[in-house]
Structure 1
Amino acid sequence: MKDQIGSFFYFPSINFQRAGGGFGPIRINNGIVINVPFPKPENEFDLLIGDWYQQSYKDVRTTGGMGYFTDWLLMNGKGPFSLVQNYESFTLSQGKTYRFRISNVGNLWSINFRIQNHKMVLVETEGSYTNQITLDSIDVHVGQSYSVLVTADQNASDYYIVATPKWVNLSNPNAIAAIGVLHYENSNTTANGSLPNGPDPFDIDFSMCQARSIRWNLTAGAARPNHQGTFNVSNVTLSQTFVLRGSVSLIDDAFLYTVNNVSYKTPSTPLKLADHFINGSGVYQIDIFPIHSSLPAAINGTFVVSGIHKGWLEIVFKNDLNVFDSWHLDGFGFFVVGFGLGDWTPEARSTTYNFYDPVVRSTVQVYPGGWTAVYVYLDNPGMWNLRSQNLKHWYLGQELYIRVYDPDPNPIKERPPPDNLLFCGMSLAYIDLILVYFYIIYWRDK
């Protein structure tokens, strides 16, 4: 946790357990010698908001969410004010400023977040301090986290805290909203009246304009006592470009989500073990995956692509689906350099990209029928998962792995598997090879 200070959340990454409530917040705080670009708030609050299935997640995962519809949005696991007694509430002192750490822990829906009669000052996202902008509401996409400052500068009363779904065709979006209460400590007035209106949930121009305004604060302190913008992308040389199209296809009579017409098939042997002991043989295929365009027909398989160690990788995410998508890369933060609608072309680098102060984050949205471009510096050796954070898309195959190989055996860079590791999924022949390997190592050390 030495490289980023900010707001994150954790969850199990298998078997749809996130849909069953398996998640929680993570705060990475600054060290004593690291200044933050705003005065210390009076208090800090975590807000975990997401869409929720009434059915058991075990039932939902049998179809990957196909045929199931979200019942409502929850706020910190609690139902909406006016419908439940145990709703979420935060108490503020008049005139004080507070930090709200907001995460979309849902499975499918992007949300718009707002607080009745209060402005929000955006200050951080996923470990990066941003240029401070004042907002009436903010779009938070699946897997994303933001920090906003809220000042209790209104009359003593109670006010609605609201999150509503985006890109969902509902006659009344407020009917399924997550609703909490901002309570002034000397208030005797219950929140009442209509919920504060948000932007049109189908207004992509609003959302994309807001996304482009979220930029890195180049003068703020990073995790170490130097400026965040010391390392920028204004003059980097690209080593690789991946153009990855997310879509859905019928494969073996089942609808699966794909990347460039490839749906990922999880092997029984962990990829890193297969890479370390048998060079991936019989477990995955290396550098067969189409990184620039889609295959003519959809297939199911286990593919790994090579990333050049200490090279700059450009990833262009394209979204053929009629829903918002979110993408996440393990092991790295990436520079979000551009958004657009329609087809991406290389000319976007000179006409659309922001090279000066693109924000660094770990999860980025891709608009329906649109594209998002990121730059990432592959300085972290390993086998890294690149996936949709939309739980249904991920569970049904919208992911791949990037192998960043460093020939230097220095264990500080990448530790080898421990000697007492249990090996599961490999054939008996491979297990025999591993036993022989450990036998040789044992007698060599003797």
Structure 2
Amino acid sequence: MASGVVLKLLLFSLIGAYLTHGVRGGDPYLFFTWNLTYATLSPLGVPQQLILINGQFPGPSINSTTNNNIVINVFNNLDDPFLFTWSGIQQRKNSWEDGMPGTNCPILPGTNYTYQFQVKDQIGSYIYYPSTALHKAAGGFGALKVHSRPLIPIPYDEPADDYTVLIGDWYTKSHQELKHFLDSGRPLGRPEGVLINGKAGKVGDKQEPLFTMEPGKTYKYRICNVGLKASLNFRIQDHKMKLVEMEGSHTMQNVYVSLDVHVGQCFTVLVTADQTPKDYYIVASTRFLKEVHTSIAIISYTNGKGEASPELPPAPVGWAWSLNQFRTFRWNLTASAARPNPQGSYHYGAINITRTIRLANNVSRANGKLRYGFNGVSHTDPTTPLKLAEYFKVADKVFKYDLMKDEPEMSTDLTVQPNVLNMTFRNFVEIIFENHEKSLQSYQVNGYSFFAVAVEPGTWSPEKRMNYNLQDAVSRHTIQVFPKSWAAILLTFDNAGMWNIRSEIWDRAYLGQQLYTSILSPEKSLRDEYNIPENTLLCGIVEGMPKLPSYT
């Protein structure tokens, strides 16, 4: 009886806290309790320490619907401070819950924290993962699915089932060892293998089917790259894939035999069970690395007879193939659905650009220390999160705005400081990611969906705008940049808060290839940004400070 009373009190307190947070109370709430623990597992045959959520690796999937309010109480039973970030979830007006070290104090060992956010005006396939240290190399990641509301039609028939495929490269060394490598100036090195939903499979291995399909029916597959470094090619033996959604946007429904999925990216495809009823292999293999690692899993037809053929479908060769595939991705402008901001904007090509930021990736090995950065600045996280320093009006004691210039700085003498750009609220901005290296890069923008208007080889110049797709570029939150190439994105900075832009190649992000954008609303009202949550953790120089008066 006592435990039931405590549970009810906890439930009411969470709802109360969330309603004061500014989110509409009429939308449904989903409540989760997550316990983080270590366990020794052997995904690649070598025992290592992994991070489990409620005993699961990968972590549990979050199944939500557009506008649901999600409340996750996280108990940190690890020996490290820890944070989750919700990749691609825009969290309108709510960078308080972004889960990056620049916005949140970490959840200390032996304590808990409750994340509270809304999947506002979104649909699609997303992931969550740790944003602290090298924890992502040990697990702690999972799928976050946002289904369309029942009354909103989707541009395809309802599938027979909905499957999630989390693919990613994997290291056999522990996350502590990998972190030590980077802290001591050593590179991370190449991964040792590939996992599909937490397991590595080889042709001929006896394994249970990962998924089952009934002949003649069509299934939805959500494919996400949760790895640290490697782009992966995904394919299904003898089956074609119809692309229907990408990072929250319905796409034109082109058909592919394989897809390059870069780090941090998610694709949703439809697969029809139209082959001879038997077993088939799902295949994921690394791309653009000297040593190719491949993992397989089995999909089985109901009442099927026969094992999967040992002959795997080949992966494509070269990055030009991948670039050409990117050019085939188009936004489905006729689909009825919740749309990420700018809401229903089909005319982004007619908006005047108010600022152009060219971000060139830097590498430095000064004094034996490996660092990465943008435009001569390598970001480091202060002990006081940037968002809290700004909120408590002590930013001048923690960081300086605009250390980084808008033009590339190719010097290897990097400034190691918090990297914060001051952005004007509601400005329409062009960002050019310039990759002067021989390896592929992948970048993520938190808090926004942007229009991925171009990815091209060579060097960017203003004349290149003639090649932009200004009609139906996919609205998404990650973009890949091929070797010696550039990528252009367009977005309106209309989501007030402190938001992270980073390399999704995690050793690069950990060693400074990231920055934050500060977008302050001049009106300082609930219309533009929620009040600081009551349960916000305080640390650094703001620990113990009283909260400021709330917006009304």
Please give the TM-score of this superposition, normalised by the length of structure 2: 0.74
For 1:273-292, list aligned pairs within 5 A: 273-292=388-407
In structure 1, what is the equivalent of residue 149 of structure 2? 31
Q: Percent identity?
A: 38
Seen in structure 2, the aligned counterparts of structure 1 residues 42 and 237 have a Cα distance that, compared at 3 Å, is same
Cα offset for 1:85? 4.3
Q: Please state if 1:108 is matched with 2:229.
A: yes
Seen in structure 2, the aligned counterparts of structure 1 residues 302 and 229 have a Cα distance that, compared at 3 Å, is same
Q: Quick one: distance in 2 between partners of 1:128 and 1:384?
A: 21
Contact 1:263–1:299 (CA under 8 A) maintained in structure 2: yes
In structure 1, what is the equivalent of residue 181 of structure 2? 63
Q: Please state if 1:399 is matched with 2:493.
A: no
Q: Which amino acid aligns with 2:445?
A: L
Match of 2:427 among 293, 297, 311: 311
Q: Quick one: distance in 1 between partners of 2:346 and 2:402?
A: 29
For 1:431-442, list aligned pairs within 5 A: 434=545
For 1:213-362, list aligned pairs within 5 A: 213-223=328-338, 230-294=345-409, 296=411, 297-350=413-466, 352-362=467-477
Cα offset for 1:248? 1.1
Q: Quick one: distance in 1 between partners of 2:348 and 2:339?
A: 19
Cα offset for 1:205? 1.6
User: Secondary structure, in 3 states, of the residue corresponding to 1:347?
Assistant: helix
Q: Quick one: distance in 2 between partners of 1:135 and 1:55?
A: 35
Q: Quick one: distance in 1 between partners of 2:232 and 2:223?
A: 11
Q: Quick one: distance in 2 between partners of 1:242 and 1:413?
A: 24
In structure 1, what is the equivalent of residue 289 of structure 2? 168
For structure 2, the residue ranges without an aligned partner over 5 or more in a row are 1-118
The superposition leaves residues 201-221 of structure 1 with CA deviations (integer Å, 9 ceiling, x where unpaired) of xx2221111101101001011
Cα offset for 1:194? 1.5
In structure 2, what is the equivalent of residue 408 of structure 1? 523
The superposition leaves residues 70-123 of structure 1 with CA deviations (integer Å, 9 ceiling, x where unpaired) of 111000001114475456521101111001000000000001111111111000
The list of structure 1 runs, each at least 4 consecutive aligned residues, that deviate by more than 4 angstroms after superposition, is 83-88, 224-229, 418-422
Aligned residues: 428
Contact 1:307–1:313 (CA under 8 A) maintained in structure 2: no
Seen in structure 2, the aligned counterparts of structure 1 residues 418 and 233 have a Cα distance that, compared at 3 Å, is closer
Match of 2:308 among 188, 191, 207: 191
Q: Which amino acid aligns with 1:185?
A: T
In structure 2, what is the equivalent of residue 205 of structure 1? 320
User: Secondary structure, in 3 states, of the residue corresponding to 1:11?
Assistant: strand
For structure 1, the residue ranges without an aligned partner over 5 or more in a row are none
Match of 1:378 among 493, 500, 507: 493
For 1:7-46, list aligned pairs within 5 A: 7-46=125-164
Q: Please state if 1:147 is matched with 2:262.
A: no
Q: Please state if 1:177 is matched with 2:291.
A: no
In structure 1, what is the equivalent of residue 197 of structure 2? 76
Match of 1:48 among 166, 170, 190: 166
Contact 2:499–2:516 (CA under 8 A) maintained in structure 1: yes
Contact 1:60–1:68 (CA under 8 A) maintained in structure 2: no
The superposition leaves residues 169-220 of structure 1 with CA deviations (integer Å, 9 ceiling, x where unpaired) of 12xx3xx2120112111112111221111211xx222111110110100101
Q: Which amino acid aligns with 1:101?
A: R
